[in-house]
Amino acid sequence: MLALRLLNVVAPAYFLCISLVTFALQLFLFLPSMREDPSAAPLFSPALLHGALFLFLSANALGNYVLVIQNSPDDLGACHGSSASRAPCSPPSTHFCRVCARVTLRHDHHCFFTGNCIGSRNMRNFVLFCLYTSLACLYSMVAGVAYISAVLSISFAHPLAFLTLLPTSISQFFSGAVLGSEMFVILMLYLWFAIGLACAGFCCHQLLLILRGQTRHQMRKGVAVRARPWRKNLQEVFGKRWLLGLLVPMFNVGSESSKQWDK
C-alpha cells in the first residue's frame, strides 16, 4: 500500500514535468525554427498555425486533467458513517478504492497520473484527457521530427528512418557529431510516441467500454451489465451537448450518470 501511495504522488509529478518540458521545447526550439521562413505570410505563417494548434491541444489536455481531479467522485461510503465496503446505500456498481479510501459510483479504475479515482462524475473528462494528451504528444513528435530533420539534415522518407534514429544518434552523440540539446529532443520524440500511442489505446478501450455500458472494474470482475442502446450509454457519459465539451474543457454537460443510481 505504501508503494501505491508513493506512486500516487510520483506519477502526477512525472506528468507535469513532461508537460513543462514539452512546452519549453515548443516555445524555445520548434516555434523559433518555424519563424525562419521568410516566404510565409504573417497571418498564415507556420509558427502561428503551429502555435495555435498546439495551444488548443495542450489547453484541452491540461484543462480536462484539472477537471478529472476537481470533479472527484463522491465518497458513498460516508453516507451512513459505516465501513466503506459495507455501505448499505451503495449500489452494486460501486467499489472501494484502497488508495483513495473511498467508495466510488460506477468505479472504473484508479488513475495514478491524476492521483484520483475515475468514476461516474469524471469519466468524460478522463476520456477527453487521454484523447488530447495523445494528440498533443503525437503532434509534438511530428514537430520534433521536422526540427531534427532540418537541423541534422536527416530524411524520414524511409519507413525505418525513425526506428534507426535513436541508435544512430547515440553513436553520433558520443563522437561529438550530435549536440546534447539535439540528443535530448530525439529522446523526447520516442517518449512522445510511446505516451501518444498508450493514451490513444487507452482512450479507444474506454470508449469501447462506454459503448457497452460497462466499466473496467465490472469487466475484470465479470459482472453482467444490462443491455441498453449504445447511444444512451454515450449520452450518459458525454451528455447531450457533447460537442461543446469536446472543444472546450468543462464539467459534464447534460450528463445523467452522476445523478442516478444503477438499477
pLDDT in tens, 140-180: 999 999 999 999 998 888 878 999 999 999 999 999 999 99
Residue 112 has pLDDT above 70, yes or no: yes
Specify if 163 maps to a domain.
no
Mean pLDDT of the chain: 84
Model pTM? Answer: 0.86
- Quote the pLDDT of residue 83: 43
Specify if 86 maps to a domain.
no
Residue of 97, 100, 111, 137 marked catalytic: 111
17 is catalytic: no
- Quote the pLDDT of residue 175: 92
- Quote the pLDDT of residue 87: 44
- Quote the pLDDT of residue 260: 47
Which range (118-132, 141-155, 218-232) has the least confidence? 218-232
Specify if 25 maps to a domain.
yes
Domain residues for 16? 1-34+47-75+94-153+196-253
Specify if 101 maps to a domain.
yes
How far apart CA 60 and CA 203 sit, in angstroms, is 15
Specify if 139 maps to a domain.
yes
In the chain, the number of structural domains is 1
- Quote the pLDDT of residue 80: 43
Specify if 181 maps to a domain.
no
Residue 261 has pLDDT above 90, yes or no: no
Specify if 226 maps to a domain.
yes
Instruction: Report whether 169 contacts 183 (CB < 8 A).
Output: yes
Specify if 173 maps to a domain.
no
- Quote the pLDDT of residue 160: 87
